[in-house]
Amino acid sequence: MANTTVTGKIGKFTLNHKNKFEIDISGQTSLDNVANAKWTILASGINNTTPAANDTTTNDEYYDGEGFGTSDVTSKRLQITLAGHRLEGDAAQDYVASKQLAIGDDLKTLFRWTQPSGDTITGVVTLTSIVSSGGAPGAKQTFSVVIVFNGKPLFAPAAAPTTTP
């Protein structure tokens, strides 16, 4: 297996390119249809990813807090921003770009994120903030999309390695 870390002063840093992002280009919209998904890797041209929990919080102050407040996370909406350069002819990018003018359920599909640890997060997503072109005249065209998970995604921990006696 390829090395997934780089040693630092105190510990090891995970190499970011070991994340794997896959999108279903057949447009399945139910986790019951994961087996029918046409998974395509969304990586070519992508040079930046930003996952975010997109937390919803409540902020409250109580009389027993002596003027200091509390904060609670009451919900999350996992999202991943993928950005880079537009690569015409890449099946995953072409699928996303084809949705730029879509609205409603036409922007939903399945998405799978395999982390360097082997853990996977799979869910029904909505493709938002699609940018399939743009940039300076002497540069490659830009590409970006915000992948927003609808509801709680499925989390599958990496399979434990098997050892042979």
- Domain enclosing residue 83, as ranges: 17-156
The token pair at 27 is 């447009």
- SS3 of residue 63 by DSSP: helix
Contact present, 128 and 150 (Cβ < 8 Å) = no
pLDDT digits (tens, 9 = 90+) for 4-36: 677 767 778 888 999 999 999 999 999 999 999
Residue 4 lies in a domain: no
- Residue 81 and residue 147: Cα distance in Å, rounded? 6
For residue 161, tell me if it sits in a domain. Answer: no
Q: Distance between alpha carbon 14 and the CA centroid of its chain, in Å?
A: 17
pLDDT in tens, 40-87: 999 999 999 999 999 999 999 999 999 999 999 999 999 999 999 999
Number of domains in the chain: 1
67 belongs to a structural domain:
yes
Model pTM greater than 0.75?
yes
Which CATH number goes with the domain that contains 67? Answer: 4.10.410
